[in-house]
Amino acid sequence: MIIRNRETQTENIRNQTVNGLAVLAYLINPTGTPVSSDVDFEQSVVKVILNRNGVQDIIVQDDFKKLGLASNVDMLTQYAFDSNGDTINSNLGSLIAFVIPFGGHINLKGDDFLFVEVSNMKDLFVPAITASSYLEVKPLKSVGYEEFIPSIKSVVVQASESSRKYDLGDNVKRAVILNYDKTNFTNNVIQNITISSDRYSENLTFGDLILGKVSRYGKQLIPAGSNYDLGASFQQDQSFVLMDFHQHFNGVEFDIKFNPNQVTQGNNVLVYWTYRTDMTILNKAANLQAKHQEKAVAAIPAKS
């Protein structure tokens, strides 16, 4: 699906298994002079709704900056959301690409369909390339059993917040705290986070959050001016992964202590992946697994 400046486009996805979205921003520079490659993904909003048996489940409804950054924190693709972008040379193009995982497979069969709507606002691209540039959004095809209906949710931290408890409830698979306005670790937004759930409890200081970020990057904080290949490849942002996709947790609560003088309006967001399920979905998945296992066993050659 192609979406240009100030356009809204929709697509119904049917008869396939998907587990996320791929987003590609094609930046075309026809001006004859270098221009900035910055893209303000807050100006592009996506809505994904599963329609099945007369019931609608909202998978996600949010802007691409929030969803994309939360999906790509501590990965090289995080730089799609860096406000200090490179330049596009004259009469050339550039591509920014990232994925947004749903957190699980959605098997679309029969009358099922996934409704996808994307709306681009006027300030998505810099003015010089607005008319020629566009987004392409398409489903990520996958192979797997549908064991639940996933959804991605977000909560904005209010300006000057000093502390708050966030009750995320059950079936939480991933959680990320985002920050948009800090480019180093000097003035920390978060003092500490107390995480509690049925399977995991922890108290994380700001230092612990940085340690987790360094570990996921697999890099150390090397000065950009030094003679190391890793210099400047580590972004000292204050967006942190709190829980990842490897497990699911119930009774999840985050008690976060902020530095209120560092919390500005609209620049800090908690994003989390959750899901709902029922016996119909679980039984269907179990039956498919059993069927495939029987086929696999039957295909094993008999011993001679």
pLDDT of 123: 86
Fold of 148-278: Jelly Rolls (2.60.120)
Residue 98 phi, psi dihedral angles, 5° rounding? -160, 165
Fold of 1-147: Jelly Rolls (2.60.120)
CB within 8 Å of 292: residues ≥ 6 apart? none
Least-confidence region, from 91-100, 144-153, 183-192, 240-249? 91-100
Q: What confidence tens digit (pLDDT) does each residue in 195-249 have?
A: 999 988 999 999 999 988 888 765 445 555 545 444 444 566 899 999 997 889 9
| CA nearest neighbour of 99 among 74, 64, 124 | 64
Least-confidence region, from 40-44, 129-133, 165-169, 282-286? 282-286
pLDDT of 231: 40
Please report, for the chain, the start and end positions of each structural domain, with discontinuous segments joined by +.
1-147, 148-278
Q: What confidence tens digit (pLDDT) does each residue in 2-15 have?
A: 999 999 999 999 99
